[in-house]
Amino acid sequence: MPLQGGWLSLALFAMVGAICFYTGNLIDRCMCADRCVRSYPDIGYLAFGAYGWTTIGLVMYVELYLVAISFLILEGDNLDKLLPSTVVEILGYQVHGKQLFVLATAAVILPMTWLKNLSMLTYVSVVGLISSVALTGSGPACPTRASTWRATTS
């Protein structure tokens, strides 16, 4: 019986878990070494001085920025596929498809970053959870898609 990718991926998954556990322990040791350490840039300062603090802080903020941008792009693409050829006129300019949905997503998400009490985001999370359950549950309820899916997987 040939080695299947499923079993290999399970071993790789366990290896990644072990590596994450080890690095988590290292971070814990770094944070316990000095009570002033409260973030990754502080750990960088302990390891490499001011250069480490600056470099790690810069890398973390660039990563956060890029994750936010990729989220906006993915949402724009997905909404454009759900609602193709949507056009809205804003201040005399016609905004089409992906650009429209990126702007709409940013307009919805951006005010949430200004909340003083982040516990308010739990309500947003609950709405997302309910909508995910509703979408997952609606898949089997649609008979035309279910019969097509069964035909293509057989």
Which pLDDT score, from 0 to 100, does residue 51 have?
95
Number of domains into which the chain is organized: 2
All residues at 6 or more sequence positions from 46 whose CB lies less than 8 Å from its CB, including other chains = 30, 33, 34, 37, 52
Q: What is the pLDDT of residues 9-43, one digit of tens each?
A: 888 999 999 999 999 998 888 888 888 888 889 98
In angstroms, the CA 31 to CA 41 distance is 11
Identify whether residues 39 and 89 lie together within a single domain: no
**Per-residue confidence of the chain (154 residues) as pLDDT tens digits?**
555 667 788 889 999 999 999 999 988 888 888 888 888 899 889 889 999 999 999 999 999 999 989 999 998 898 888 888 888 888 888 888 888 889 888 988 888 888 888 788 888 788 888 988 887 877 666 655 545 555 555 5
Which pLDDT score, from 0 to 100, does residue 148 have?
54
Please choose, from the candidates 152, 133, 151, the residue with its C-alpha nearest in 3D space to the C-alpha of residue 141.
Answer: 133
- Give a yes or no: residue 1 inside a domain: no
Are 102 and 76 in contact by the 8 Å Cβ rule? The answer is yes
Domain residues for the domain of 42 are 12-48
Are 127 and 101 in contact by the 8 Å Cβ rule? The answer is no
Q: Per the confidence metrics, is the pTM higher than 0.85? A: no
Which pLDDT score, from 0 to 100, does residue 22 have?
97
- Give a yes or no: residue 3 inside a domain: no
- Give a yes or no: residue 127 inside a domain: yes
Identify whether residues 61 and 34 lie together within a single domain: no
- E strands, 7-145, where? 87-90, 93-96
- Give a yes or no: residue 119 inside a domain: yes
Partnered with residue 89 across adjacent β-strands are 94
- Give a yes or no: residue 88 inside a domain: yes
